[in-house]
Amino acid sequence: MKEEKQGRKEKKAVKRGYGMNERPHAGELGAFGLQHALIILFQTLPAPLLIAGGLGLGPGETSILIASALFVSGICTFIQSYGVGPLGARIPMVMVGSFVFIAPALLIIPEAGFGGYMGACIVAAVICGVVFVLFSDWLKVIFPSFVSGAVLLVLGTGLIGNALANCAGGSGAASFGEPVNLVLAGVTFLVVLILSVFGKGFVKGAAPLIGMAAGFAISVAMGMVDFSSVSEAAWIGLPQPLHWGISFPIDACVVITLVAVCGVVEILGTTSATTTVAENRLATPGETRRTVLTQSVTSVFAGLFNAVPTISGSANIGLMGITRVFSRYAVAVAGGIVLLMGLCPKLSAVFSVIPNPVFGGAVIMMFGTILVNGMKIIMESEQTARTQTILAVALAVGVGFNSVAGALDQFPFWVSTMLCGVPGTAFVAVILNVLLPGRNLKRPDPADAGAETHAAAETAEEEAPLGA
């Protein structure tokens, strides 16, 4: 007995770092905050860069998207972790631009413009907040785990395609497919892979960012980077709200709302995954309520400041599991650092000139991890003939129409948007889950929810440094 007690004490001593509500000393606080900030940075960059690349935007407009994304992510992370009045779960959670809104953006913006897309995101954020208040107990019934897994699988598939297009030079680029692009992307990818496999601690968590920095340095040495837009950018500048105006097209609002509800379900899992890793407990109802309320409010803020809606980033959960530093104050400092990055147009301009092959090589493993996590969730969910039917049809619709360009061009815009990719998968899966016989409309069992959350926490702690 004495040896067992001593062993437990030693185990606790090894794991001891900083608790969720403990504040490290100033020097440590800055160092821990910087670690989180760098990982937040890499989770924040893909959304604006992929949207800009998919729409063929120039460095100037790309810089605006990047600065807005950093500004919004910094403020929202600070609010979520530190707390401001009724907002903020006051747990070590970061908020970044959600990948799930990238594909809808590439479909909606050419038709409705940036203003229509941002307006739809604002409407979706408000609706999701109301839906959560009224129907929070039923969200996991309507959106069971296998639906979330299917959405992640389709999301990862689409993002991998975008990453490979960037590896080849970027869609529509004159140099698309040239060997030099693929070699540069391959070198960047190898750096990320080696650091992810053999790196330790922070280096392992920041592998994609380090790989991108290495690839960028090589591309500069090869003369592939034009710094003219960087030299013209100011050092300090405030993001301009509603830079492209705002409108509220009904079809876009419907599509974005459906996708946003998936985000609410995801953040519920991430909230309890965070508290499980930090304090070995599920999130309290108050923490969950404040998390979703803050997500809704910050997503409205994101729409006003030209950024995609926010979602909780999971890579930082993995970092906390490695460092054993769970202080929400360190994450709040990270939010402040990222906010300051968003106030530096010159820094955003530097990010905007990163060659497409470098970016593609740096993110391809991250996107592959999203796909694998989707497969894992599906495999761990209850497999019945009913769920397999739902998955088969939903994946066939989402992946199928997304793979055949122009198949729905003769239909109204909202039809083509609703049936392609992530929206199509989510829409079909939810409708079939409600309509097919044999559905379970009971409220979720708390014990089952706890088991799912602990599994999610383990996945986040082990794999999140590569994902978002």
The answer to whether residue 79 scores a pLDDT higher than 50 is yes
Residue 419 inside a domain? The answer is yes
Whether 408 and 415 have beta carbons less than 8 Å apart is answered as yes
Residue 14 inside a domain? The answer is no
The answer to whether residue 156 scores a pLDDT higher than 60 is yes
Question: So what's the pLDDT on residue 186?
Answer: 94
Residue 34 inside a domain? The answer is yes
Higher pLDDT, 123 or 374: 123
Question: So what's the pLDDT on residue 369?
Answer: 84
Separation CA 201–CA 198 (nearest Å) = 10
The answer to whether residue 118 scores a pLDDT higher than 80 is yes
Residue 442 inside a domain? The answer is yes
Question: So what's the pLDDT on residue 10?
Answer: 39
Residue 4 inside a domain? The answer is no
Q: How far apart are the first and last CA of the chain?
A: 43
Q: How confident is the model at residue 462 (pLDDT cuts 50, 70, 90)?
A: very low
Cα 324 from chain centre: 23
Distances (CA, A) of 388 to 136, 371, 382, 391, 436: 26, 18, 10, 5, 12
Mean pLDDT of 388-412: 86
pLDDT in tens, 235-278: 988 888 999 999 999 989 998 998 888 788 778 778 888 888 88
Separation CA 33–CA 54 (nearest Å) = 32
Mean pLDDT of 71-91: 93
The answer to whether residue 96 scores a pLDDT higher than 70 is yes
Strands 94-97, 310-313: pairing is: antiparallel
pLDDT in tens, 430-454: 889 888 887 655 555 544 554 454 4
Residue 6 inside a domain? The answer is no
Higher pLDDT, 35 or 329: 329
State the residue for tokens 């892979």.
193
Residue 186 inside a domain? The answer is yes
Question: So what's the pLDDT on residue 380?
Answer: 84
Phi-psi region of 226 (alpha: psi -120 to 50; beta: other; left: phi over 0): beta
Three-class DSSP labels, the chain: CHHHHHHHHHHHHHHCCECCCCCCCHHHHHHHHHHHHHHHHHHHCHHHHHHHHHHCCCHHHHHHHHHHHHHHHHHHHHHHHHCECCECCCCCCEEEECHHHHHHHHHHHHHHHHHHHHHHHHHHHHHHHHHHHHHHHHHHHHCCHHHHHHHHHHHHHHHHHHHHHHHCCCCCCCCCCCHHHHHHHHHHHHHHHHHHHHCCHHHHHCHHHHHHHHHHHHHHHCCCCCCHHHHHCCCCCCCCCCCCCCCCCHHHHHHHHHHHHHHHHHHHHHHHHHHHHHHCCCCCHHHHHHHHHHHHHHHHHHHHCCCCCEEEECHHHHHHHHHCECCHHHHHHHHHHHHHHHCCHHHHHHHHCCCHHHHHHHHHHHHHHHHHHHHHHHHHCCCCHHHHHHHHHHHHHHHHHHHCCCCCCCCCHHHHHHHCHHHHHHHHHHHHHHHCCCCCCCCCCHHHHHHHHHHHHHHHHHHHHHCC
Mean pLDDT of 192-221: 87
Mean pLDDT of 112-134: 91
One-letter identity of residue 374? G
Higher pLDDT, 171 or 110: 110
What's the domain range around 28?
Answer: 20-466
Question: So what's the pLDDT on residue 16?
Answer: 54
Question: So what's the pLDDT on residue 188?
Answer: 94
User: Of all residues in the chain, what percent carry a pLDDT higher than 70?
Assistant: 90
Question: So what's the pLDDT on residue 225?
Answer: 87
Q: CB within 8 A of 410, min separation 6: which ones?
A: none
Say whether pTM exceeds 0.85.
no
Residue 266 inside a domain? The answer is yes
Mean pLDDT of 419-433: 86
Identify the top-confidence range among 70-79, 226-235, 393-402.
70-79
- Mean model confidence pLDDT for the chain: 84
Q: How many domains does the chain have?
A: 1
Question: So what's the pLDDT on residue 440?
Answer: 58
The answer to whether residue 383 scores a pLDDT higher than 90 is no
The answer to whether residue 122 scores a pLDDT higher than 80 is yes
Per mean pLDDT, which range of 190-199, 284-293, 452-461 is the poorest?
Answer: 452-461
